Structure 1
Amino acid sequence: MKKPSLIKTVLSALFILASIFLFAARGLPEECTAMIAGRNTTFDGSILFIKSEDDSPREVDYLWYVPRNTYEPGAVIKLRAGGTIPQVKETYAYFWDQCPRTAYSNQFINEWGVAFGSNACASKEDSVKEVEARGDLVKGGIGFRLRMILAERAKTAREAVMVAARLLDKYGYRASGRNLSIVGPNEAWQLQMVRGKNYVARRVQNDEVAIIANTFSIREVDVDDKDNFICSPDLIEYAIKRGWYDPKSGENFDFARAYSPERIHESPSNTHRAWNMARLLNKNFPLTLKQAEEGLMPVSVKPDRKLTLKDVMAIFRNHYEGTPLDKSGFGKSGEYKTSPHKTPHNICNYGTHRTTVVQQRNWLPVEIGTVTWRAIDQPCASVFVPWYLGATKIPEPFQKAPESFHATQKDLLDYHFKPPVETWDLDMESASGIFACLGGLVDTTYGRTIEFVQKIWSDFEDEQFALQPTVEKSALDLYRQDKAIAKEFLNNYTESQALKSLEVANKMIYKIKWHLWGAGGQNKIRIAIKVDPKIYDAYVGEYDGSPDLRLKIIKKNDRLFCSTEDGPQLEIFPESENEFFFKKVDAQITFVRGEEGKVTKLIVHMRGRDIPAKKIK
């Protein structure tokens, strides 16, 4: 009988563990995180919209391109709660980042570059039944379909807010509360909605970075400033009526305080993530962790530098390293004692299944100027791949679902909310499956593998950043001649990089299983760095570690080798300027200098032993 492969055995165990974790975590708070950087805070004058989706470790993601559609007079949109909304004559094209069966973990970006993503925010509002009874929810109200409708109808972020306001005024919002980030090439808004017909939208200012976890974040509201605020008609009056705000207190109206339950607004799940973003954006952020835990976090932060793509990606890969909140044992050595995802309320956590960075540049044609940098699964062990808005052909592994959206005979609601049970099987031919596998392998061996994985992905991303100006110059030159040719160029480039990311991920999966569990099993996957070969001269010589060993260190063609008296010469590779490792055996060497700066000995680290050897020649 053929024995199951090691990788299948390991993966089965990983997914059983994931299922156990998911069962235990059902009662945990939602922990999606978002950040919007105004154009004056970024390195290139772009607006950056960063969003993580956090549900469970077993969610899958598909990417669909939905072209423009036309509809007959009288056509309607069927809402999940049972109501209907009149459909418009023509809808715009959009990309749909789908997470099957989830009501709100779906991100959209339309052909005009207007992007939509949300964070659950509980409110003090009454139940659906009570709100519907008093007429503030019409036929159950609108929820899941809102952002899709906005993507279909709005050319700008402001227009999307206005369309949303009209729909909310008429039908009401169904969920307890939610922040919907609406980000276009020219401006960005945060629309914060309460069950029923109350809402406030605030325009993100050019000199700030708006931050939000899973609680309302908008504070002061200027109802007379129509350029920066769009509000429901009785937003403040309703709060007064419910006893949530007292104008006689002498304090300004604070939307977040008025409409958020205190237990949610001050929950560590929200305050810790918001505080972490703030301190990473500005090292001099004035609020302490204790003040953040009292619900005092501001709606935005002024960063202490111009933010790069790499900066914001790093923030969304963070696990509180170097703070009292970190539970991973991460130390000065840069190594983890356990997975940092065990630390509660991380930005990057067990449930993160997709993170995106939407880069908006209004000085370029939208097909080129709007780029979504997309990472599947936990971003600390994944890679951000650039997807240009003009690239509408999606490689098969990124939409490899048991039932294709383009081929299904089901209506939208049944397709999304009643997917085949096979949807959650591990599929190693799909992008979701490959990155989930890599993330699971890393998470179970975090301290031994993360440095290796992050080095590979860092090199991959650095290459994309370096290529971006050249790619976009070529695309722009083509665009001025023929838009169709420019789009095909962007299709080819985007597809090549997306497929390359899968190829690299698969190679890492193989290497991790071989190094940790195969015949060449080692404690850690080590990474060679580039150093000046001149430093090798100081290490060359003979070393005596009697009675256990006698070694020779030899330099050849700017490479360093080690041998025993009668053994073969094995190359050693630098991890730092004085730390080296073997690739063929699980052993390492550290060169030690004396008080005068000269190399006096080396130490061999092997099988839990540290064996010193004095330099004798």
Structure 2
Amino acid sequence: MPASRAYCVAITVALMCVPAISEASYGLYVGRNLTSDGSVFIGGTGDEVSSHYLRIVPHQTHPEGARITVGLTEEAEMYGGPNKPGKLTEIPQVRETYKYISMTYTNWAGFPPPLTNGGLNEQGVAARDIWSPSRTELIEMTEAPQTGPQYSDLSRIVMQRASSAREAVEIVGEMIDKYGYSTYGGNSHMFADAEEGWVLIDFAGSQGLWVAERLGPNEVRMSYPGYIGDIPKDYQDDPDYMGSDNLISFAVEQGWYDPDSGEPFNVHKVYGAQDAPMRRPTVNEIEHKLETLTPGISFRQFMNVVRDPAMSKDSNGYGQAVRLNADTPHKELRTLWVAPTGSVTAPFIPWRIGVTSVPPEFRKHRYLTKGSASTFVTAEAALQEASQFAGRLFKRLMYYTCHKPDKFLPEVTEALVAFEDTMLKDGEAVEQTALTLYQNGQDELARKYLTGYSHDRAYDALELGEDLVGSIEARTRLLYDIPVVEAEPMGKLDYEMVTCR
């Protein structure tokens, strides 16, 4: 999601410096004609320096006249140009909102928590949120204070209101057209349902610029960042594209595009960061891996690619994978697979829409939560804080494993895959049991069953994590020792990123 400041990445022991708008967050899409069971696959991660935790938001009915707060605060930062503080405003809420499951996080500069990059809702719409830097001129012309919804607001609104991927695009476009858009420098979304996917880019500049491209059943796409290339000049009349009315006319006014040149309108070339390619080398690498597995890629293989160490590293707040199938027999059986931190060393756990609660170990904790270093735990939060925090446990496993990835990563990967395979194998029986309960009018009992299953697997995951950490920690101490680090601060934005690659 939001890109962090410049940093240096540790590739095992070598360091690689990354430019000011860092390469953070990714989304993967595989169309239904290319998968083993005719499902659409979507997955990826959100990259933020923050505490991440699982949240289940119920289906709700809101009073007439209800409103929601959107936008940025005065602390908002802009990357690639001068800061553009924001102003919080209110917009109308709809009367009814859908249930959804998402990973939530606690801090991004000037973006009020709780924040989300999307997730999965009860209608079978899944969303990822991915960085997509706008050209410098757009960043510089962004008005201050910024007003209107920002990326997390839009992701949350889509989860609450969209019943298809196409409708998700329409909702975001309508929000920007009507209320404007607040940003840290440009952003994108990847939406999917059981039929198709969409990539939508919203640009900095306070001009209401946005564009979306459909991803069809025979397509593979990696957003890293979110990108769109050539689009037809009559894009608003083409069912595979959508965009703001001024998308091309504004570029012509600025001298960024000549409609008489004979050249196609290339979205990245016109509006994207001018000092970066549309497709990074990692995009080509990962898309190639996906394409070699298609047609017929399984969900197991897709999860393997989501956890690839080329993308999954310390910046990941979580890993996420979804299989969307039109034949799902009950909406509450739709499933979001979530790793509690970077999936390179953390297991995916299935959370079905019917699940009603989250174990305390997977809820919000103080680790990496803004302000926690200068405050004491409240009595209300003490017991939740006393519990093991899944995110921290699997971060520890990442740090030990990635210290010597050649030695430790193969055994960690083998254990995680074996653990996930047991849940994939369980899937049919679990869903058939729950479906029988639903069909017999035992909805609450079905939800209790699904909740118990996910809780049990979550605790199994913690036990597995503790065993792996204990084993690798013991060998690390014996073989390599743990050096003393007293530098202040121990963490910073210009840093050597931990990665297992």
Q: Same fold (TM over 0.5)?
A: yes
**Residues 400 and 476, structure 2, Cα contact 8 Å, conserved in 1:** no
Alpha-carbon distance change, 369 to 40 in structure 1, aligned in 2, over 3 angstroms: farther
Secondary structure of 1:379's counterpart equals: coil
Aligned amino acid, residue 464 of structure 1? M
Tell me which stretches of 4 or more aligned residues in structure 1 moved more than 6 Å: 422-428
Alpha-carbon distance change, 141 to 33 in structure 1, aligned in 2, over 3 angstroms: closer
Alignment partners' CA distance in 1, 2:19 and 2:459: 34
1:248-284 Cα deviation digits (max 9, x unpaired): 2222211122111221335xxx51121111221234x
**Residues 377 and 432, structure 1, Cα contact 8 Å, conserved in 2:** yes
Alignment partners' CA distance in 1, 2:376 and 2:312: 21
Aligned ranges for residues 37-436 of structure 1 at < 5 Å?
37-56=30-49, 59-79=50-70, 80=72, 81-102=87-108, 103=111, 106-124=117-135, 126=137, 130-132=141-143, 139=147, 142-175=150-183, 176-195=185-204, 196=206, 197-221=208-232, 223-265=235-277, 271-283=280-292, 304-319=294-309, 346-402=310-366, 420-421=372-373, 429-436=388-395
Alignment partners' CA distance in 2, 1:420 and 1:516: 30
Offset at 1:514?
2.6
Aligned amino acid, residue 25 of structure 2? C
Structure with more contact order per residue of length (Cα contacts < 8 Å, sep ≥ 6): 2
Specify the alignment match of 2:81 in structure 1.
none
Alpha-carbon distance change, 427 to 42 in structure 1, aligned in 2, over 3 angstroms: farther
1:409-464 Cα deviation digits (max 9, x unpaired): xxxxxxx9965347999987111111111111112232222222122112112212
1:564-584 Cα deviation digits (max 9, x unpaired): xxxxxxxxxxxxxxxxxxxxx
- TM-score normalised over the length of structure 1: 0.65
Specify the alignment match of 2:469 in structure 1.
509
Aligned-pair identity (%): 26
Alignment partners' CA distance in 2, 1:101 and 1:138: 19
Aligned amino acid, residue 450 of structure 2? L
Alpha-carbon distance change, 384 to 96 in structure 1, aligned in 2, over 3 angstroms: closer
Alpha-carbon distance change, 26 to 203 in structure 1, aligned in 2, over 3 angstroms: closer
Secondary structure of 1:491's counterpart equals: helix
1:41-89 Cα deviation digits (max 9, x unpaired): 1111111111122234xx3211111223343443322223322212223
Secondary structure of 2:101's counterpart equals: strand
Alignment partners' CA distance in 2, 1:198 and 1:310: 38
Secondary structure of 1:49's counterpart equals: strand
Structure 2, unpaired ranges of 5+? 1-9, 73-86, 378-384, 482-501
Alpha-carbon distance change, 184 to 313 in structure 1, aligned in 2, over 3 angstroms: same
Structure 1, unpaired ranges of 5+? 1-16, 284-302, 320-345, 404-415, 524-617
Specify the alignment match of 1:478 in structure 2.
437
- TM-score normalised over the length of structure 2: 0.79
**Residues 192 and 201, structure 1, Cα contact 8 Å, conserved in 2:** yes
CA RMSD of aligned residues (A): 3.2
Aligned amino acid, residue 29 of structure 2? I
Aligned amino acid, residue 228 of structure 1? D
Q: How many residues align?
A: 436
**Residues 129 and 151, structure 2, Cα contact 8 Å, conserved in 1:** no
Specify the alignment match of 1:492 in structure 2.
452
Alpha-carbon distance change, 483 to 149 in structure 1, aligned in 2, over 3 angstroms: same
Offset at 1:368?
4.9
Secondary structure of 1:251's counterpart equals: coil
Alpha-carbon distance change, 253 to 388 in structure 1, aligned in 2, over 3 angstroms: same
Aligned ranges for residues 587-598 of structure 1 at < 5 Å?
none
Offset at 1:215?
4.6
**Residues 128 and 174, structure 1, Cα contact 8 Å, conserved in 2:** no
1:361-418 Cα deviation digits (max 9, x unpaired): 1211454552111113232222112111211221111004249xxxxxxxxxxxx996
1:82-121 Cα deviation digits (max 9, x unpaired): 2221222333222231121134663332222322221111
Alignment partners' CA distance in 1, 2:315 and 2:188: 19
**Residues 33 and 295, structure 2, Cα contact 8 Å, conserved in 1:** no
- Verify: 1:441 aligned to 2:393, yes or no: no
Alpha-carbon distance change, 63 to 204 in structure 1, aligned in 2, over 3 angstroms: same
**Residues 215 and 264, structure 1, Cα contact 8 Å, conserved in 2:** no
Aligned amino acid, residue 45 of structure 1? G
Offset at 1:26?
9.8
Offset at 1:474?
2.2
**Residues 427 and 433, structure 1, Cα contact 8 Å, conserved in 2:** no
Alpha-carbon distance change, 218 to 424 in structure 1, aligned in 2, over 3 angstroms: farther
Deviates more, 1:257-266 or 1:388-397: 257-266
